[in-house]
Structure 1
């Protein structure tokens, strides 16, 4: 691997990067760091006001940054084609990377569903990105060397999936359902790369995870993030084991920019996988299960009516999604 300095990123003028959930949290810092390379950064966000606040914050730190907003609601599958069409209306001719970062973690004991009838965390964290990559495929595959960077979770490594109950209809527990949604998304990232390689595509699919990230260890970015002095002081002991969201963004940023990164790799923090500089990690356990990944792909395609597989010929037509009740 080449030497990598998180504070001195390579220039990327002329490139275009889309970050889902780029208006807050880890996604904000991915966007801020990529904006510093001279690239055009597109914040995928369903809230225009929050996106505008993030744009203002990035421009205050990166003078002249080209930061745009794309309205994107991953929980609403029917809206995603129109969102991608909006990129085309702006005459965007290339997309060098999409960072599939947006995610929701609920703490309520009550299971929630989207308008499509899908469990909210599974729909937002996994199915929405699965569908988004399908609609972005012409732009991505028309850009030589483009990348799909999937942000997973450290907690997903120790989870398992019930293929007969992917959406936790029988035994819903918020944290476990979140981890399972992230495991499904990471498996998608690895399976996508296998399909890209089989099709001879130059597009890469890379999986990352941020380790253990705390708001209280995250540097202030008003008005996007304003930790109090008390919060920061109380979090200092945790800084021995965890890190803030600025550092948590480093694996995804490296996966986007580093020319030595290869498809099918997993990148995370160097120190025990929970903090520190970005480093290459082994892919093992459930993450290395190719049969499981293929079955999750098939189930996701049935639920969305879409298939992001790179075509050898014309892209397949959209089919009707399967009702969640038939899952």
Structure 2
């Protein structure tokens, strides 16, 4: 039994980025079960097809669509928004992301470090392009990460030109997402908009604890057995999607909040958390916003609330 069981959203339309795998897939599946129209934003259209096939096998009458989405290439985003073909969106879930492990620094088509470009800049620009279709009362849900807790942003080296290491650079890209999301909500409030920007994180979500969804992905008995000890402190990606889904649907959740799993922030039912101070720092957020706008050429909202 999940929080959204019995909750209906038949008249709503939601966009989930990176919905063809992992937490994004389960967010799309769970949202589809509410009767909403769910648009899967995916880089690989064949994987998006498999994801929709898997959802339809479990959700009778699921209303699904897909649009091609390559967050790493900023030049493609206007076409993606045009392909949505909707007059309004009720929520966008900023979930897609990459985590590189190789020692070599990679860059996007626009020359930015690839994780920062994909995880943060692409979503920053996507929100800007989506502004005309975000309905009154809609929600922007940003999926953060535990990895952001131990990192700090260097505004002079956002692209990790001088200090590239895969794990820290990934953590900084997720911190940038969270800083952006909190700043977005401040600017929305200052502009008088009714759109809410909410931050969530999935806790410790493991493949080994995640139920299979053929033909998209499977889990062998051996993988299941290996994951059982971790079940005491972690959970699967299906449970990791619960904070996302609740933030989309629960009208008691308001902009500027952070939600994650209840048990040590690692597993369990969603609950509200207090963000770490460096995730909401006004000066860092303002500097990041200005740098992101300069890099992408767009600006979701120009109003900044005075401290």
TM normalised by structure 1 equals: 0.91
SS in 2 for 1:33: helix
Name the structure 2 match of 1:303. 295
- SS of alignment partner, residue 292 of structure 1: helix
Q: CA RMSD in A?
A: 1.4
In structure 1, the residue matched to 2:160 is: 168
The corresponding residue for 2:112 is 118
In the alignment, structure 1 residue 67 sits paired with structure 2 residue 61 = no
Q: C-alpha separation between the residues in 2 aligned to 1:6 and 1:246? A: 12
8 Å Cα contact 1:19-1:42 kept in structure 2: yes
Q: Deviations over 1:15-52 (max 9, x none)?
A: 00000001111000000000000000000001110000
Q: Is the 8 A contact 2:190 2:303 kept in 1?
A: no
1:73-92 to 2 correspondences below 5 Å = 73-87=70-84, 90=85, 92=86
| Cα shift at 1:241 | 1.1
Task: Check the 8 A contact 1:103/1:121 in 2, yes or no.
Answer: yes
Correspondence 1:1-327 to 2 at 5 A: 5-6=2-3, 8-87=5-84, 90=85, 92-140=86-134, 143-309=135-301
CA distance in 1, matches of 2:303, 2:291: 19
Give 5+ residue unaligned stretches, structure 1: 313-327
CA contact (8 A) 1:196 1:310 kept: no
Distance 2:18 2:257 in 1: 22
- The whole-number CA distance in structure 2 between the counterparts of 1:71 and 1:7 is 27
What's the TM-score, normalizing by structure 2?
0.97
- C-alpha displacement at 1:284, in angstroms? 2.7
Superposed displacement of residue 159, structure 1: 1.0
Secondary structure of 1:98's counterpart equals strand
The answer (yes or no) to whether the contact 1:22–1:102 under 8 Å persists in 2 is yes
Deviation at 1:283, TM superposition (A): 2.1
Q: Deviations over 1:69-109 (max 9, x none)?
A: 0111000100001110112xx3x121000000001001111
TM-superposed deviation, 1:155: 1.4
Q: Distance in 1 between matches of 2:218 and 2:243?
A: 24
Contact 2:144–2:200 (Cα < 8 Å) also in 1 = yes
Whole-Å separation in 2 of the counterparts to 1:22 and 1:127: 18
Question: How many residues align structurally?
Answer: 304
* Unpaired runs of at least 5, structure 2: none
For residues 35 and 169 of structure 1, the distance between their equivalents in structure 2, rounded to whole angstroms, comes to 41
Structure 1 runs of 4+ aligned residues shifted over 4 Å read none
Q: What is the rounded CA distance, in whole Å, between the counterparts of 1:7 and 1:280 in structure 2? A: 17
